[in-house]
Amino acid sequence: MKIPRRRFLSATAAAVLVAGTRAKGTVFGANARIGMACIGLNGRGRDHLHAFLSSRESQVVAVCDVDRRVLSGAARAAALRQAGAPAKYTDIRELLEDDAVDAVSIATPNHWHTLAAIWAVRAGKHVYVEKPLSHEVAEGRRLVEEAKKHNRIVMHGTQRRSGADWINAVRQIREGVIGDIYMARALCYKQRDPIGFAAPKPPPDYLDWSLWQGPAQEQEYCDNYVHYNWHWFWRYGNGDIGNQGVHQMDVATWGLNKGLPVKIASTGGRYTYGDQGETPNTQVATFTYRDGAMLVFEVRGRYTNSEEDTRVGNLFYGSEGYFVERDKARRNRNRFRFCNKKGRPIRVKQEDVDTRGCYGNFLRAVASGDEQDNFAPALAGHIASAHCHLANIAYRLGRTLDFNPDTERFTADDEANAMLTRNYRGGFELPA
């Protein structure tokens, strides 16, 4: 039996788009290629570029990066692999005026994700945006609303949603293979070394430092921000819970299917070394839902053992058994293990899934104009990302917080509510 593309796993009934419509009003024919623009070309952005260059359904018509060295290298690589060189942009606002662009992929630092995506959907472009969907809770909800209002596909870069193995596993978890789920655990045990200390200095001449900062309040350049260690500074990143961890958080919230929590607690620290990073390298967060179910998330960035054969993965506990995701390194055995009350394996049926992977699914959704083809919609990305942000707020305030999932506000806590958003730099505010 083939699982239809109408995804059982979606957390919402999102708006159905006008089928087959391009941003500029034309219709995708059978052989038409989608004009893709890749924004942010370092790290994960290279994967985006490679994927859209490799697809017969897309043409990379533009590339954008605030680092001119990275931008030039990506443009050269694209020109060697397709007919026609892409247009080069440093400023995303200029790129979004390009009528050749039907859709964009965004792989900037986290603090740019939501603003870039909102600008794009307002310009009529479809969006594939890297995880986390947002840098703050309020941003994510705003992007969900903007995607619906402007009838654009917004797909979140949590690739497990497009994996046939995970689609099958979550289906079985939700259908009660291990009974009623009362708890989920998500693990992010990735060893991270200290980043040391770097003094402020003038930015390199090949980098537009003002544009790199975008919506964040301006400060002096430091080598520890560019190009990766920004993850460990609150102004730009969200720590490992919002870096690698958001993938596991997404699976946990997907399987639990509880929406946002009513209570959050988090503790931890930056242990075993001294450096100028701000986010915790060790963190435990607990989330409680209206029905009493729980989610426990653990970050360990130093030396550690695996648990139940996994270091980066997910576990679910039910009234009739449990589920374990094993590390990929141990794939000589089944990656997923369902067990009954006595710990004995449960045999589960694997069904065919109509999936092309995350980038293929995105292109299919853009071409069809059908939100049902969007395997990782904005709302699912918002729920996963918001969990990470809520945990970080509880960690930074050092206390347990009560939260109202309906209003997406903390209960009688002005200090916590102020941390649901940020003070945007002039010219980079979220649009009214």
Q: What is the CATH number of the domain that holds 272?
A: 3.30.360.10
pLDDT at 425 (0 to 100):
97
Neighbouring residues of 236: CB distance < 8 A, sequence distance ≥ 6 = 109, 110, 111, 135, 216, 225, 230
Domains held by the chain: number: 2
Query: Is 43 a domain residue?
Result: yes
Of 339-353, 376-390, 391-405, the least confident: 339-353
Same domain, 182 and 294: yes
CB 429 within 8 A of CB 421: no
Whether residue 153 is found in the same domain as residue 105: yes
pLDDT greater than 50 at residue 138? yes
pTM of the model: 0.93
Kindly tell me the burial class for residue 214, based on how many C-beta atoms sit within 10 Å of its own C-beta (0-12, 13-18, 19 or more). Answer: buried
pLDDT digits (tens, 9 = 90+) for 165-203: 999 999 999 999 999 999 999 999 999 999 999 999 999
Same-domain status, 132 and 171: no
> Both 258 and 359 in a single domain?
no
Indicate which CATH number applies to the domain containing 118: 3.40.50.720
The reply to whether 111 and 169 lie within a common domain is no
Q: How far is the C-alpha of 226 from the C-alpha of 58, rounded, in Å?
A: 30
Residues 140 and 278 in one domain: no
Q: Output the DSSP codes for 192-211.
A: ----------PPPTTB-HHH
Partners of residue 89 on adjacent β-strands: 64
In a domain, 221, yes or no: no
Q: Which domain holds residue 297?
A: 164-194+232-351+385-418
Q: Is 425 a domain residue?
A: no
The mean predicted confidence, pLDDT, of the chain is 92
Which pLDDT score is estimated for 30? 56
Would the pLDDT of 27 be above 70? no
Q: Looking at the structure, tell me whether residues 124 and 107 fall in a common domain.
A: yes
- Specify the residue for token string 């623009």: 37
State pLDDT tens for residues 409-424. Answer: 999 999 999 999 999 9
In a shared domain, residues 372 and 340: no
Tell me, yes or no, whether 222 lies in a domain.
no
Q: Are residues 319 and 398 in the same domain?
A: yes
Say if 130 falls within a structural domain.
yes
For residues 320 and 70, what is the distance between their CA atoms, to the nearest angstrom? 52
Q: Is there a domain that residue 344 lies in?
A: yes
218 is a domain residue: no
Q: CB within 8 A of 329, min separation 6: which ones?
A: none
Report if residue 206 sits inside a domain. Answer: no
Q: Which of 45-54, 211-220, 313-322, 331-340 has the lowest mean pLDDT?
A: 331-340
